[in-house]
Amino acid sequence: MSFSDFNLDARLMRAIAEAGYTTPTPIQAAAIPVALSGKDIVGTAQTGTGKTAAFVLPILQRLLQAHANAPHHARFHRALIITPTRELAEQIHEAIKALARHTRIRSAAIYGGVSASPQEKALREGVEILVATPGRLLDHIDAGLAKLDRIAVLVLDEADRMFDMGFLPQVRRVLSHVPRQRQTMLFSATFPREVEELANRSLREPQRIAIGVSAPAVTVTHALYPVPHHLKLDLLVALLRKADAFSMLVFTRTKHRAEKVSRALARQGFAATRLHGDRSQNQRQRALQGFKDGKYQVMVATDIAARGLDIESVSHVINFDIPDTVDAYIHRIGRTGRAERAGDAFTLVTPEDNGMVRDIERALQQPIERRRLEGFDYGSAAAPEQPQGQAKSQPADKRLPRTRPSNGRLNDRRSGSAHRPDDTPRRRSVR
Ligand code: AMP
């Protein structure tokens, strides 16, 4: 299949070529013809699969066709894309700008945390495509600035993330301002019940398109690195040194831990930055841009801050802390192995993480390889509760206990130990 099979406008074809896309990705091959036919779509695809272009190209095509028959001084918002985070809104907006560069179609990113006036200007001018987070959009709707009564295409992107972040009530409110007669596309990596309900309520006879159902891009190599708690930071440093890649994304569970780990890495000589919700929009943008430009080799991030980011060629995702949910795992490693490039996803695990590991293996429908980092001194460790040597040869079910710790927290058995390296984040104290 090639892009010319979609019969897209020549101006879009030019932009596609200039973006360097030669062949449609699987989600594009599956979704673009359906979207062009005007049908509703429920797409199972995570970021990194090329899904942005899969909905942006049909939107642009449709708007170009409508434009051909409309006087161009009459500008209205015609398409609305709702996303969970500002970073993602910004990213989609950039993708639209690139693909629409030879057209007069304009887009605006609408999100909170920054001055509202440029956004208000865009709204007054009636840009054709709005890419918005639900909260700020509602503010503009309430203020009478955003008028959604001409919206013909609606996209709900990363619906599961919006649900996780508690945005569904706001999304429903936005929906009540959009005409019923419209095309709707909903994308989600996973489908919790609430997202299914949202899909049932807001889409009409949607075509379901599943690419890599709830599973990460196949090019990602997963590995678990069992490690006692107090050696986590040392192991991270050793792994990063060994990988020596140009762009490595490290995830921690909390903002505070992101801050601590990033500082510790900087002390170890890494060009490290951090992305989390306690940083200003400006700081986050600088961190992200610096990471993209190669100024920073390592970026330490929390789930929410890194959600849906399109960072090209992240070679390694390292989970310093295992995520709290399987979905979060899938989203995190969606940052690597993007659009068919290979990537590595390493997760540091302590014995307390075994329940979560089992859940992840179940979702992936395969055991994840356990590795020991050669040359790393595990010697000062407290006796591991799970003999590492045995782990590899046994099937996942035998290898792992059946239950998670009831309090869901990781216990640091050596809390207060004199062996703890100074930089090791103390779990209790940093939570
Ligand atoms: P997305 O899943 O939309 O975040 O896209 C992930 C990355 O793949 C982005 O950097 C896109 O620019 C890139 N991409 C999208 N479509 C294609 C394609 N057909 N060929 C190559 N790269 C693509």
2 CA distance to ligand 1 middle (Å): 15
400 CA distance to ligand 1 middle (Å): 37
Residue 305 lies in a domain: yes
The answer on 228 and 164 residing in a single domain is: no
Tell me if 51 CB under 6 Å of ligand 1. Answer: yes
Q: What is the 3-state secondary structure (H, E, C) of 182-218?
A: CEEEEEECCCCHHHHHHHHHHCCCCEEEECCCCCCCC
Residue 246 pLDDT: 75
Residue 191 pLDDT: 82
CB contact at 8 A, 288 and 263: no
Residue 347 lies in a domain: yes
Instruction: Identify the CA nearest to 425 among candidates 262, 248, 272, 193.
Output: 262
The answer on 65 and 99 residing in a single domain is: yes
- Residue for token digits 């959604």? 148
Range of the domain at 259: 220-370
Residue 199 pLDDT: 94
The answer on 254 and 198 residing in a single domain is: no
The answer on 224 and 203 residing in a single domain is: no
Residue 342 pLDDT: 60
| Nearest residue (CA) to ligand 1, atom 9 | 50
Quote the crossing angle between the two packed helices 26-36 and 51-68, to the nearest 10°: 30
Residue 337 pLDDT: 56
Tell me if 298 CB under 6 Å of ligand 1. Answer: no
The answer on 125 and 38 residing in a single domain is: yes
The answer on 15 and 164 residing in a single domain is: yes
Q: Which of 18, 23, 25 to mutate to test the pocket of ligand 1 (most atoms within 8 A of CB)?
A: 25
The Cα–Cα gap between 165 and 86 comes to 13
Tell me if 28 CB under 6 Å of ligand 1. Answer: yes
53 CA distance to ligand 1 middle (Å): 7
Strand-pairing partners, residue 346, are 223, 318
| Nearest residue (CA) to ligand 1, atom 6 | 48
The answer on 245 and 204 residing in a single domain is: no
Positions in the chain whose pLDDT score sits under 70? 68-74, 211-219, 305-313, 334-342, 380-431
Q: Choose the final residue of a domain: 351, 370, 389.
A: 370
Residue 404 lies in a domain: no
CA angle 318, 85, 304 (to 5 degrees): 35
The Cα–Cα gap between 219 and 215 comes to 11
Q: Which helix (H) or strand (E) holds 357?
A: helix 354-364
The Cα–Cα gap between 328 and 325 comes to 5
The answer on 184 and 51 residing in a single domain is: yes
Indicate which CATH number applies to the domain containing 244.
3.40.50.300
Tell me if 312 CB under 6 Å of ligand 1. Answer: yes
Q: Which of 188, 310, 311 to mutate to test the pocket of ligand 1 (most atoms within 8 A of CB)?
A: 310
What is the token pair recorded at 352? 């307390």
The domain total for the chain is 2
The answer on 278 and 366 residing in a single domain is: yes
| Nearest residue (CA) to ligand 1, atom 18 | 21
The answer on 293 and 162 residing in a single domain is: no
Q: Choose the final residue of a domain: 178, 211, 244.
A: 211
178 CA distance to ligand 1 middle (Å): 29
Residue 417 lies in a domain: no
Q: Choose the final residue of a domain: 370, 393, 416.
A: 370
Instruction: Identify the CA nearest to 252 among candidates 233, 279, 267, 271.
Output: 233
| Nearest residue (CA) to ligand 1, atom 21 | 21
The answer on 113 and 224 residing in a single domain is: no
226 CA distance to ligand 1 middle (Å): 33
Tell me if 25 CB under 6 Å of ligand 1. Answer: yes
Residue 416 lies in a domain: no
Tell me if 53 CB under 6 Å of ligand 1. Answer: yes
Q: Which of 8, 21, 59, 340 to mutate to test the pocket of ligand 1 (most atoms within 8 A of CB)?
A: 21
Residue 400 pLDDT: 27
Q: Is 102 exposed, middle or buried (0-12, 13-18, 19+ CB in 10 A)?
A: middle
Tell me if 47 CB under 6 Å of ligand 1. Answer: yes
The answer on 103 and 68 residing in a single domain is: yes
- Quick count: other Cβ atoms within 10 Å of Cβ 202? 20
Residue 377 lies in a domain: no
94 CA distance to ligand 1 middle (Å): 12
Residue 341 pLDDT: 53
Residue 310 pLDDT: 63
Strand 207-210 relative to strand 272-275: parallel, antiparallel, unpaired?
unpaired
What is the token pair recorded at 265? 């890495």
48 CA distance to ligand 1 middle (Å): 6
CB contact at 8 A, 13 and 37: no
Q: What is the pTM of this model?
A: 0.59
Residue 37 lies in a domain: yes
DSSP 273-340: EEE-TTS-HHHHHHHHHHHHHTS-SEEEE-HHHHTT---TTB-EEEESS--SSHHHHHHHHTTBSGGG
Residue 389 lies in a domain: no
pLDDT in tens, 362-403: 877 778 999 999 999 987 544 444 434 333 333 333 222 222
Q: For the CA atoms of 41, 46, 48, 54, what is the dihedral angle to 10 degrees?
A: 0
Tell me if 15 CB under 6 Å of ligand 1. Answer: no
